[in-house]
Amino acid sequence: MGKKRTAVAARVDRDRAYAPEEALGLVKEIATASFDETVEAAFLLGIDAKQADQAVRGTVSLPHGTGKSVRVVAFAEGDDAKAAEEAGADLIGAAELVAAIQAGAQALDWDITIAHPSLMAEVGKLGRSLGPRGLMPNPKAGTVTKDVGKTVAEFKAGRVEYRNDRYGNVHVAIGKVSFSAEQLTANLAELVVELNRARSSASKGRYIRKLTVSSTMGVGVPVEVGALDDLGTD
């Protein structure tokens, strides 16, 4: 660890957990990069990630967005394609777009894929390409939808996808260091409410077991789980 990072880490008391807004304020204070770092919330959930009925996956619209420019690809035709274009989709197509991706003529350089249900038979052909990159549309994530235009607009405005990994962790970007601590806290609150909504009845005991917030280049700041009660947790 370099001297600069060591000095930053020393400002975080590892023997305590911080109230949410205090933790996010500290994340802002110790961010030292020359760019506007992303602020991320990392949750450890009380789930058995090996059990399909305990999987946690979905989307949430953050009230202040993420501060990130999101590239969206929409698989749609006709009026749905027009609605996607008006909503700001970066790339729109149907069977011809699937063929271009299969042929390697279209780089996989976007963030979210949205598809109309009528085109999923075609989009399904891209499973091996999109799946490993987390770009495959999925009904549980709200990215397979009949209202393509609305969904494109929501993701452009700050709707984000979340899912647990095989260890029961969920990592979600909740904004930028340039956001105020209040904005970051509001985004975190919405995320906490959504994660609780997505909780499976098969999950027992405390659900949110650990939460750490950090910036892209910063050190993690532990958040007091009990203090999340006011943000809508159990």
Give the pTM.
0.81
| Cα separation of the two ends of the chain | 37
Both tokens of residue 16?
């305590």
Say how many domains are in the chain. 2
Could you tell me which of 230, 207, 232, 211 has the C-alpha nearest to residue 221?
211
Residue at which a domain ends, from 157, 174, 190: 157
Residue 195 lies in a domain: yes
- Output the pLDDT for position 233: 45
- Output the pLDDT for position 4: 62
Residue 5 lies in a domain: no
**Pairwise CA distance, residues 10 & 22, whole Å:** 16
Range of the domain at 77: 72-157
**Coil/strand/helix, residue 75:** strand
**Pairwise CA distance, residues 152 & 175, whole Å:** 19
Residue 26 lies in a domain: yes
Are 21 and 219 within 8 A, CB to CB?
A: no
**Pairwise CA distance, residues 102 & 195, whole Å:** 35
Q: Which tens digits make up the pLDDT trace of 91-143?
A: 999 999 999 999 987 888 999 999 999 999 999 999 999 999 989 999 988 99
Are 9 and 15 within 8 A, CB to CB?
A: no
**Pairwise CA distance, residues 143 & 120, whole Å:** 11
